[in-house]
Amino acid sequence: MALSLDFDSPNLREEILACTFSALRLDPAWCEHRLRPFAGTVHLAAMTGAYLGHIFEGKKTIESRFSNTQRPPYQRVQSGDVIFFKISGGPIVGISAVSDAWFYRLDTLSWSIIRREFVKDICAEPSFWTRHESSVYASLMRLQDARPIPPILVSKRDRRPWVILGDEEDPFSENLESSDSRDRQN
């Protein structure tokens, strides 16, 4: 049975970290000092199941987000942060640390760099590049110690594909029902 948490709880960040620590208490990469007390930024990323499988298998080691606006995670993720992975429309099912992050204002040169340096680790299907060719911004994050966790249900009802937990200053949290259709994950 999945644990259920309220997305609007002021303590959601701490509640998710506590549940995860309990589930991963014997995992050397996620021992207590890594999660509790955790001073870094905690992110919640909505994803589809296929990409999650690649992450947990170790095939996908770069999480990428492409958008037309400077919305999270653009320039809001750094080494040492934690990403929780939530199945779109479903529970949180995984966690990863971020070991590196890169941000691009996309142009011919940056597209060339991304394709040359990251294509294998993004683990994208061939149509990926066509779907994102009109994007303006890219956020790339190297994943470290990615693990599945027991499902945690959260009552998230907005359409944001990326949320920074505990970030009251997120300008995109005001317009919860709209989402740029070009802001996509992979």
Indicate the domain borders of the chain.
3-165
pLDDT of residue 179: 41
Contact 29, 147 (CB under 8 A): yes
Model confidence over 102-160: pLDDT tens digits? 999 999 999 999 999 999 999 988 888 889 999 999 999 999 999 999 999 998 888 89
Mean pLDDT of the chain: 86
Residue 183 has pLDDT above 80, yes or no: no
Pick the CATH number of 3-165 from 2.30.130.30, 3.40.640.10, 3.40.50.720, 1.10.10.60: 2.30.130.30
Residue 174 has pLDDT above 60, yes or no: no
Return the structure tokens found at 38: 């955790």
Q: Between 34 and 93, where is the model more confident? A: 93
Contact 47, 56 (CB under 8 A): no
Full-model pTM: 0.88
